[in-house]
């Protein structure tokens, strides 16, 4: 296989991007520069290079637009439910289950998991933190253990699978030229392994911390007194300590209705998607459409004629969040998508080669691409690109590598892509990177560094076990 100057430039910029991310820097400038130089080499014109930078970004935006829209709309719904007062009611029943710190760990984790699947981890963090963190403190679950449960279940399990909104698998699948259901189904044994190992290890650590707290042997930041202080710290203005542990005495009728209708609506969506085998873009469209209708109806009922203006404010907040998350993803994806033959042909015309696929083929002649080497490389690269602190910005690379490795090794692209997705999201999505765990650390009143240290060993054990399982299933 003959490699051209474009192949070597592409390979050089892939390495530059990995190094940039490992240094905790955004990789947009290297990706834009890489697209520019590639465009110049392939088109032979500086004008063609400039056009390549913009066209690749447009195509990447078009590929990701549906998931950007649905996530933005869902966050908009979350702000609307918060205005109504329904968010707290939706998770309030879970507080009744917290009979001990050990039980509280699992309750917070499971509520965070469910909320993250339907609302995404960032809105779910605020929701669970406002309602359940004070309740966990009341049964003497150390704040650090509360934070670990929220991280592992929300930013780990939920975000790395993303079965409902399908943001992560969509990005991985598009980069690997696969149907989204292929990545999702292939990832099931991997995420079961990752979840079982990580959650078990985290709970064992939490039990040790709970025992120390109960015996009065913990350090000051994790003593029962601090747990009480953390509960007070997150109270809303004008509320006392007792009020922070209870649902408002007389919630509005609309809040009660919304707290019931919204979860039931999403549950029915999931049932319908499974029953009618709806996947990919159609599933995303149904979720987005129902979410937008729910937001519209409840905003109008709650605000009357003012709802015509307020719904815009809710959506603006949602889209501000969505674009904040996806802006780096778009420009990083615009470069890595150029390594795929399908996207390259949309940018450069018919006959354009898949640079990354060609490079993988050349690599197989130097380094045998077998189950073990591919599995280790995918996990390591996924973890490295996750160091930037974004769970999604590395997915175009891991997805593209999965497609390239599979094309020349005969291994299962879906399994490789799912492995890279898990490694990238668990590392960068908010589990073991200190600057990625700040939201959970802040709402639980613990140190981000301490939280990252608590998560490190369980996540590392989980990644090792998951890589082994992926090697078997490839």
pTM score over 0.85: no
Q: State the Cα–Cα distance between residues 334 and 61, nearest whole angstrom.
A: 8
Q: What percent of the chain has pLDDT over 90?
A: 37
From the CA atom positions of the chain, what is the Rg in Å?
A: 23
Between residues 225 and 41, which one has the greater pLDDT?
41
Between residues 406 and 367, which one has the greater pLDDT?
406
Q: State the Cα–Cα distance between residues 168 and 160, nearest whole angstrom.
A: 7
Q: Which two tokens stand for residue 310?
A: 């307020």
Q: Is 190 within 8 Å of 469 (Cβ atoms)?
A: yes
| Closest to 283 measured CA to CA, from 296, 295, 270, 292 | 270
- Burial of 167 per CB tally in 10 Å (0-12, 13-18, 19+): buried
Q: State the Cα–Cα distance between residues 263 and 345, nearest whole angstrom.
A: 43
Question: pLDDT tens for residues 267-319?
Answer: 888 788 778 877 666 777 888 898 899 999 999 999 999 999 999 999 999 89
Grouping H, G, I as helix, E, B as strand and the rest as coil, residue 248 is coil
Q: How crowded is the C-beta side of 217, counted as CA atoms within 13 Å?
A: 6
Q: State the Cα–Cα distance between residues 127 and 318, nearest whole angstrom.
A: 15
| Closest to 337 measured CA to CA, from 3, 137, 102, 56 | 56
192 C-beta neighbours (distance < 10 Å), count = 13
DSSP string of 15-83, one letter each residue: HHHHHHHHTT---HHHHHHHHHHHHHHHHSSHHHHHHHHHHHHHHHHHHHHHHHHHHHHHHHHHHHHHH
Q: What percent of the chain has pLDDT over 70?
A: 88
Q: What is the mean pLDDT of residues 439-456?
A: 84
Question: pLDDT tens for residues 129-185?
Answer: 767 887 888 888 999 999 999 999 999 999 998 888 788 898 899 889 899 889 999
Predicted confidence (pLDDT) at residue 430 exceeds the cutoff of 80: no
| Closest to 173 measured CA to CA, from 360, 381, 409, 337 | 337
Between residues 336 and 300, which one has the greater pLDDT?
300
- As a dihedral over the C-alpha atoms of residue 59, residue 62, residue 64, residue 65, rounded to 10 degrees, the angle is 160
DSSP tag of 249: S
Q: What is the mean pLDDT of residues 247-253?
A: 56
Q: Which two tokens stand for residue 84?
A: 């109504």
Q: Which two tokens stand for residue 258?
A: 């919304």
Q: Is 396 within 8 Å of 169 (Cβ atoms)?
A: no
Predicted local confidence at residue 247, as pLDDT? 43
| Closest to 69 measured CA to CA, from 166, 202, 137 | 166
Helix or strand run (H / E) with residue 214: helix 188-214
Q: State the Cα–Cα distance between residues 323 and 316, nearest whole angstrom.
A: 10
Region of 268 (left: φ > 0; alpha: ψ -120 to 50; beta: rest) is: alpha
Q: Is 416 within 8 Å of 360 (Cβ atoms)?
A: no
Q: Which two tokens stand for residue 120?
A: 């995404």
Between residues 32 and 21, which one has the greater pLDDT?
32
Quote the mean pLDDT of the chain: 83
Q: Which two tokens stand for residue 375?
A: 């599995």
Q: What is the mean pLDDT of residues 114-126?
A: 79
């Amino acid at each position: 296989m003959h490699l051209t100057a474009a192949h070597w430039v592409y390979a050089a910029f892939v390495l530059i991007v990995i190094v940039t991310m490992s240094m905790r820097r955004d990789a947009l400038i290297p990706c834009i520069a890489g697209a520019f130089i590639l465009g110049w080499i392939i088109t032979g014109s500086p004008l063609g290079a400039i056009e390549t930078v913009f066209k690749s970004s447009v195509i990447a935006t078009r590929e990701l637009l549906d998931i950007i829209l649905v996530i933005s709309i869902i966050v908009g719904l979350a702000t609307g439910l918060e205005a109504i007062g329904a968010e707290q009611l939706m998770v309030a029943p879970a507080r009744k289950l917290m009979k001990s710190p050990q039980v509280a760990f699992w309750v917070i984790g499971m509520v965070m998991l469910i909320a993250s699947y339907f609302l995404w981890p960032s809105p779910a963090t605020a929701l669970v933190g406002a309602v359940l963190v004070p309740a966990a403190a009341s049964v003497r679950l150390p704040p650090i253990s509360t934070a670990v449960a929220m991280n592992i279940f929300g930013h780990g399990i939920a975000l790395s699978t993303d079965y409902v909104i399908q943001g992560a698998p969509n990005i991985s699948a598009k980069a690997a030229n696969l149907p989204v259901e292929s990545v999702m189904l292939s990832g099931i044994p991997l995420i079961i392994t990752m979840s079982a190992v990580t959650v078990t290890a985290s709970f064992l650590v939490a039990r040790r911390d709970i025992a120390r707290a109960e015996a009065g042997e913990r350090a000051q930041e994790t003593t029962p007194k601090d747990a009480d202080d953390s509960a007070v710290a997150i109270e809303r203005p004008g509320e006392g300590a007792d009020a922070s542990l209870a649902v408002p005495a007389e919630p509005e009728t609309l809040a009660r209705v919304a707290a019931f209708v919204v979860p039931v609506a999403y549950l029915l969506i999931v049932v319908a998607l499974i029953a009618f085998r709806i996947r990919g873009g159609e599933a995303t469209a149904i979720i987005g459409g129902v979410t937008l209708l729910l937001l519209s109806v409840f905003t109008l009922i709650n605000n009357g004629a003012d709802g015509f203006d307020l719904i815009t404010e809710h959506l603006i907040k949602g889209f501000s969040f969505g674009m904040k998350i996806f802006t780096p993803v778009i420009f990083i994806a615009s470069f890595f998508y150029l390594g795929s033959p399908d996207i390259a042909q949309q940018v450069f015309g018919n006959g354009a080669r898949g640079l990354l696929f060609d490079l993988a083929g050349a690599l197989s002649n130097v380094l045998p691409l077998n189950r073990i080497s591919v599995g280790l490389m995918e996990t390591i690269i996924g973890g490295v690109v996750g160091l930037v602190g974004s769970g999604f910005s590395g997915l175009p690379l891991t997805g593209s590598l999965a497609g390239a490795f599979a094309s020349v090794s005969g291994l299962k692209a879906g399994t490789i892509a799912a492995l890279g997705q898990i490694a990238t999201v668990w590392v960068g999505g908010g589990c073991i990177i200190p600057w990625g765990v700040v939201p959970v650390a802040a709402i639980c009143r613990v140190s981000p560094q301490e939280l990252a240290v608590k998560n490190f060993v369980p996540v590392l054990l989980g990644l090792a076990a998951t890589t082994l399982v992926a090697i078997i299933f490839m």
